[in-house]
Amino acid sequence: MAEREIRLYFVVHRGSGGTRVLAQLFHRAPHRSLLDPFLSQLVHEGADGSLLLVEADTRELVLRCPIEASISRRRRLKMRAQRFWLL
């Protein structure tokens, strides 16, 4: 089986404050987990909007992750942890 070529991708945050490139990544097969460190930081900062992975050559959107969904997931996990400790 032939290996996939390594490509350049941009990690982009698009929110109410505008659009900005956060990083450039070289990768063979992009996966949502590539965005996790960036998503975690944006949630920590209280950002809104979406986190995008865009192929640099074609400007094609490869992955999109809404930040709001991650915030609500974080709240659920926090509530679950609080219930655990209260018991």
User: pLDDT tens digits for 2-19?
Assistant: 577 899 999 999 999 899
Identify whether 1 is part of a domain: no
Q: Looking at the domain assignment, is residue 43 inside a domain? A: yes
Instruction: Decide: 63 and 52 in contact? Cβ < 8 Å.
Output: yes
Query: In 53-79, which positions are buried (b, 16+ CB within 10 angstroms) versus exposed (e)?
Result: bbeeeeeeebbebebeebbeeeeeeee
Neighbours of 83 (CB within 10 A): 9
Give a yes or no: residue 2 inside a domain: no
> Residue 58: what pLDDT?
94
Share of the chain above pLDDT 70, in %: 76
DSSP letter for 43, please.
H
Q: How confident is the model at residue 86 (pLDDT cuts 50, 70, 90)?
A: very low
Domains: count for the chain? 1
Handedness of CA 24, 11, 32, 8 (dihedral sign): negative
Mean pLDDT of the chain: 81
Q: Can you give the CATH number for the domain in which 28 is found?
A: 3.30.1490
Residues 21, 51: Cα–Cα separation, whole Å: 10
Q: Is residue 31 assigned to a domain?
A: yes
Q: Domain range spanning residue 15?
A: 7-86
